[in-house]
Amino acid sequence: MRIILAQQTSGKVEILRRILTEGLQHEVVGEAYSGGEILEKCRVYKPDALLMDVMFSDLPVAAVLTEVMRNSPCAILIVTSSVDLSASKVLSALGAGALDAVNAPVEGTDNSMEFNEKFLKKFRLLERLSGTFSQREKPLNKIVSCANPDSIVAIGASTGGPGAIAAVLNQFPTNPGFVTVVIQHLEERFCEGMTAWLNQMTHQTVIKAENGDSPKQGIVYFACTNDHLRLTEDGTFRYSSKPEDNPFRPSVDVFFTSLAEHWAVPGVAVLLTGMGNDGAAGMLALKNKNWHTIAQDETTSAVFGMPRAAIKIGAALQVLALDAIADSILKQLQTRIER
């Protein structure tokens, strides 16, 4: 994999270079020390991956990533000194197309090995997802005869979700004959950038789910406010602040439960990578209504919390690696049409 390292100092670049080139068979094709250099190096080298800090001061991080994804799309991992202390910039980067964020590896401290292991786990997931970008222009041969407008796929995700969602959607056929709804824990101000990015990086039509919309086949609806998305009794979307004490916003559980109550034809529900337990109870409710339920496996999850919670309570009928989930969804929908 061809990589560009964009960090504040040459010392940080060298730490990353050493980790990535010792036994991992990757090539560092460029270094960048500013937002402007990132744009220039990506334009020249067309990397497979960009490992980028968010602390450059010459250009806003979202502007840099938007430009990179427009002209030189690649898998992007935010690698910064402290994800927590840089939270607003990290969220901005995730909203503009970064797949995940991790604290930078360190040397010479008591916990350096722990830092490096966490970094490598995130990087291994990046390796798996990089194919999503290199194959983005290839035509899809998958055909699903799901002309039933009642066929629906519901996807929930949190930490590490943007890249995982893109990987699944990119394996769907163009103009699929089913509805898809995505619930990703994400601040409202980043939703517009996220839907634009998913439109660019997949073959799907991704739009914001609006109050009063009736789900239509062939469209991917993205929950885009800090309130919870529900499907109502009349078959339309509605946002609600309740339950107000639910810290996960928008909540996967709230939407999954509303589907169990109001969507008459069983579909497919998926829980991807994410921290916490949101979605597990809602997925169990769907399973009990004869939905097919899938949880992402631990190896390919950036954070295994949400899938693990669903598996623990028996809500997941399948536990699959990320690159196997789309095929399972399509097969399940085909089988349900043929019944």
pLDDT in tens, 218-229: 999 999 988 999
Q: Over range 182-207, report the average pLDDT.
A: 85
What DSSP character marks residue 50? E
pLDDT score, position 149: 62
pTM of the model: 0.75
CATH 3.40.50.180 in the chain, residue ranges: 152-338
Is the predicted pLDDT of residue 143 greater than 60, yes or no?
no
pLDDT score, position 318: 98
pLDDT digits (tens, 9 = 90+) for 230-244: 999 999 999 999 988
Amino acid at 46: K
pLDDT score, position 223: 95
pLDDT band at 133; cut points 50, 70, 90? low
The CATH homologous superfamily of the domain defined by 152-338: Methylesterase CheB, C-terminal domain (3.40.50.180)
Query: DSSP states of 258-327 as a string?
Result: HHHHH--S--EEEE-S-SSSTTHHHHHHHHTTT-EEEEE-TTT-SS-HHHHHHHHTT--SEEE-HHHHHH
**CATH number of the domain located at residue range(s) 2-134 in this protein:** 3.40.50.2300
CATH 3.40.50.2300 in the chain, residue ranges: 2-134
pLDDT digits (tens, 9 = 90+) for 6-53: 999 999 999 888 888 876 678 899 999 999 999 999 999 999 899 999
Catalytic residues, by residue number, are 158, 185, 278
pLDDT digits (tens, 9 = 90+) for 259-298: 999 999 999 999 998 888 999 999 999 999 999 999 999 9
Q: Over range 140-147, report the average pLDDT.
A: 47
pLDDT score, position 137: 44
